[in-house]
């Protein structure tokens, strides 16, 4: 397995048979052709490798609470109602799955669990998701092409799914000010800039001058939206300390630089840079599973995940988007005491 060791890049390069770097498979640059009425073939649910322990989990669950034991299912070929569909097609399908509710906090572990896959998904999943996601703007496509042309490591970019996710987080939250920790060639910064109003700002941090120059070129070619982006060349920790000293605060802080320092970035965000009702988004949080076991970044991300899990100040969700994205908010924002708060 190729280890991604390059300045916090999240994934590995994919090569063509002739040895050239494969075009990023996670950048959608045109609207997908409509398919027939059916999605592409994907029989993941009964794939033998999906979860070797799935049956056991299900049996344990049934044993723990017999009320949930499934009845033998009728085999409707064309269920007429939603309930018929659940009791026939869906029950059978889900019998292979882990039960998906967590009843208690998992104990901390020293290291991440064994996971022998390169990606979280089966072939076709991300493409299908991308084909049904809004196509990136021309400016984002330009950044993707420019990154490729310059021979920079394209998998570092957040890609179509995640850039659209970032933009939509900004729109949904009504964010005005975002901090992008780890610019690379600028895709995440640009996506967030597209989701904030014209007088908003994305501050983006990059310590590599060559990469920063490329990012600035991409921003400059992006017309009006570029006016919302401020690129700072420097070490992310140092620059965050400076931003904090000058009293700058942010609605959204996206952490995507070197994985070894995630806890530092998180604490800098929590202790001054993040607005009271702001959110932190953290990229590659599931790379604790995906990176090589020997790669120290796997361990560091695991430590980060557990650090957040045990931080009483916040609540969070780890999304299985791309290589994992964690959303973190302070508890009790705006006086809302929901659930266990
Ligand atoms: C995974 S890439 C970021 C990708 C970017 N968010 C995008 O969407 O294209 C990580 C970037 O963080 C930069 N980086 C790593 N460590 C850093 C540090 N300590 N300070 C500033 N930038 C850093 C790397 O040079 C690299 O460009």
Asked if pLDDT for residue 3 goes beyond 90, the answer is no
Site to probe by mutation for ligand 1, drawn from 212, 257, 300, 301 as the one with most ligand atoms within 8 Å of Cβ, is 257
Specify whether 83 is located in the same domain as 142: no
Percent of the residues in the chain that have a pLDDT greater than 70, as a whole number: 75
- What does the pLDDT read at residue 180? 99
Residues 6+ apart with CB under 8 A from 274: 249, 250, 253, 280, 330
* Separation of alpha carbons 314 and 68, rounded Å: 33
257 CA to centre of ligand 1 in angstroms: 4
Site to probe by mutation for ligand 1, drawn from 4, 160, 183, 255 as the one with most ligand atoms within 8 Å of Cβ, is 183
For the whole model, what pTM was predicted? 0.82
* Separation of alpha carbons 115 and 213, rounded Å: 37
Which tokens in the block code for residue 263?
């806890």
* Separation of alpha carbons 277 and 254, rounded Å: 15
192 CA to centre of ligand 1 in angstroms: 16
Report if residue 232 sits inside a domain: yes
Report if residue 119 sits inside a domain: no
Q: Is the CB of 147 under 6 A from ligand 1?
A: no
Task: Domain count for the chain, please give it.
Answer: 2
Residues 6+ apart with CB under 8 A from 230: 201, 202, 203, 204
Tell me the pLDDT band of 68, cut-offs 50, 70 and 90. very low
By residue range, what is the domain housing residue 73?
52-94
Specify whether 187 is located in the same domain as 270: yes
247 CA to centre of ligand 1 in angstroms: 23
* Separation of alpha carbons 168 and 29, rounded Å: 18
Q: What residues are paired with 204 via a beta bridge?
A: 180, 231
State the residue for tokens 């605060």.
249
Specify whether 140 is located in the same domain as 69: no
Q: Is the CB of 9 under 6 A from ligand 1?
A: yes
Specify whether 162 is located in the same domain as 295: yes
Site to probe by mutation for ligand 1, drawn from 184, 281, 283 as the one with most ligand atoms within 8 Å of Cβ, is 184
> Can you tell me the mean pLDDT for 36-45?
58
Percent of the residues in the chain that have a pLDDT greater than 90, as a whole number: 66
* Separation of alpha carbons 20 and 311, rounded Å: 44
198 CA to centre of ligand 1 in angstroms: 25
261 CA to centre of ligand 1 in angstroms: 11
138 CA to centre of ligand 1 in angstroms: 23
Tell me the pLDDT band of 213, cut-offs 50, 70 and 90. very high
Nearest to 325 by CA among 159, 114, 143: 159
Asked if pLDDT for residue 57 goes beyond 90, the answer is no
39 CA to centre of ligand 1 in angstroms: 36
| CATH number assigned to the domain comprising residue 155 | 3.40.50.150
Specify whether 235 is located in the same domain as 136: yes
Asked if pLDDT for residue 66 goes beyond 50, the answer is no
* Separation of alpha carbons 242 and 292, rounded Å: 34
Lowest-confidence range among 41-45, 133-137, 222-226?
Answer: 41-45
* Separation of alpha carbons 137 and 145, rounded Å: 12
- What does the pLDDT read at residue 40? 72
Specify whether 84 is located in the same domain as 151: no
* Separation of alpha carbons 118 and 3, rounded Å: 10
- What does the pLDDT read at residue 52? 39
* Separation of alpha carbons 173 and 175, rounded Å: 5
pLDDT in tens, 257-301: 999 999 999 999 999 999 999 999 999 999 999 999 899 999 999
pLDDT in tens, 303-327: 999 999 999 999 999 999 999 999 9
Tell me the pLDDT band of 89, cut-offs 50, 70 and 90. confident
Specify whether 298 is located in the same domain as 212: yes
- What does the pLDDT read at residue 77? 67
Report if residue 115 sits inside a domain: no
Asked if pLDDT for residue 24 goes beyond 50, the answer is no
- What does the pLDDT read at residue 76? 54
183 CA to centre of ligand 1 in angstroms: 5
Q: Is the CB of 207 under 6 A from ligand 1?
A: yes
Q: For residues 45 and 200, which has the higher predicted lDDT (pLDDT)? A: 200
Q: What residues are paired with 238 via a beta bridge?
A: none
Q: Is the CB of 256 under 6 A from ligand 1?
A: yes
Helices 187-194 & 138-149, crossing angle to 10 degrees? Answer: 170
* Separation of alpha carbons 274 and 244, rounded Å: 9
- Ligand 1, atom 16, residue with closest C-alpha: 258
> Can you tell me the mean pLDDT for 250-257?
98
Q: Is the CB of 185 under 6 A from ligand 1?
A: yes
Specify whether 133 is located in the same domain as 82: no
Which tokens in the block code for residue 140?
């984002």
Strands (E) across 130-261 are located at 177-181, 201-206, 229-233, 250-255
- Reduced to 3 states, what is the DSSP secondary structure of residue 251? strand
pLDDT in tens, 91-128: 877 777 777 889 999 999 999 999 999 999 999 999 99
Q: What residues are paired with 328 via a beta bridge?
A: 280, 316
Asked if pLDDT for residue 1 goes beyond 60, the answer is no
337 CA to centre of ligand 1 in angstroms: 36
Asked if pLDDT for residue 35 goes beyond 90, the answer is no
- Ligand 1, atom 14, residue with closest C-alpha: 257
> Can you tell me the mean pLDDT for 216-239?
98
Tell me the pLDDT band of 29, cut-offs 50, 70 and 90. low
CB 46 within 8 A of CB 94: no
- What does the pLDDT read at residue 78? 75
Q: Is the CB of 303 under 6 A from ligand 1?
A: no
- What does the pLDDT read at residue 97? 74
206 CA to centre of ligand 1 in angstroms: 6
Question: What number does the ligand 1 atom closest to the CA of 10 have?
Answer: 1
* Final residue before a domain boundary, out of 42, 71, 94: 94
Mean per-residue pLDDT of the chain? 84
Report if residue 158 sits inside a domain: yes
Specify whether 290 is located in the same domain as 141: yes
pLDDT in tens, 148-188: 999 999 999 999 999 999 999 999 999 999 999 999 999 99
């Amino acid at each position: 397995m190729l280890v991604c060791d390059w300045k916090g890049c999240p994934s590995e390069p994919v090569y063509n048979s002739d040895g050239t770097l494969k075009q990023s498979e996670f950048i959608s640059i045109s609207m997908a052709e409509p398919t027939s009425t059916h999605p592409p073939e994907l029989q993941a649910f009964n794939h033998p490798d999906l979860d070797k322990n799935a049956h056991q989990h299900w049996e344990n669950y049934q044993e723990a609470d017999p009320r949930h034991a499934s009845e033998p299912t009728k085999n409707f070929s064309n269920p007429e109602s939603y309930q018929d569909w659940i009791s026939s097609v869906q029950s059978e399908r889900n019998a292979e799955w882990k039960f998906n509710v967590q009843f208690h906090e998992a104990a901390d572990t020293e290291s991440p669990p064994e996971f022998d896959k390169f990606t979280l998904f089966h072939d076709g999943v991300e493409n299908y998701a991308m084909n049904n996601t809004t196509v990136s703007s021309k400016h984002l496509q330009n950044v993707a092409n420019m990154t490729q042309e310059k021979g920079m490591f394209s998998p570092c970019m957040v890609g179509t799914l995640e850039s659209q996710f970032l933009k939509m987080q900004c729109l949904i939250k009504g964010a005005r000010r975002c901090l992008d920790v780890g610019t690379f060639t600028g895709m995440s910064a640009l996506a967030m800039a597209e989701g904030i109003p014209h007088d908003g700002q994305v501050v983006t941090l990059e310590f590599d001058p060559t990469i920063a120059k490329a990012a600035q070129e991409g921003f400059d070619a992006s017309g009006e939206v570029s006016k919302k982006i401020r690129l700072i060349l420097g070490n992310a920790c140092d620059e965050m300390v400076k931003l904090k000293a000058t009293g700058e605060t942010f609605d959204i802080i996206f952490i995507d630089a070197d994985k070894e320092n995630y806890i530092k970035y998180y604490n800098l965000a929590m202790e001054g840079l993040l607005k009271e009702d702001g959110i932190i988004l953290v990229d590659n949080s599931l790379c604790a599973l995906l990176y090589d076991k020997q790669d120290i970044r796997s361990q560091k991300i695991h430590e980060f995940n557990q650090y957040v899990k045990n931080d009483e100040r916040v609540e969070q969700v780890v999304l299985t988007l791309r290589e994992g994205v964690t959303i973190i908010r302070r508890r009790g924002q705006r006086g809302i005491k929901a659930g266990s708060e």
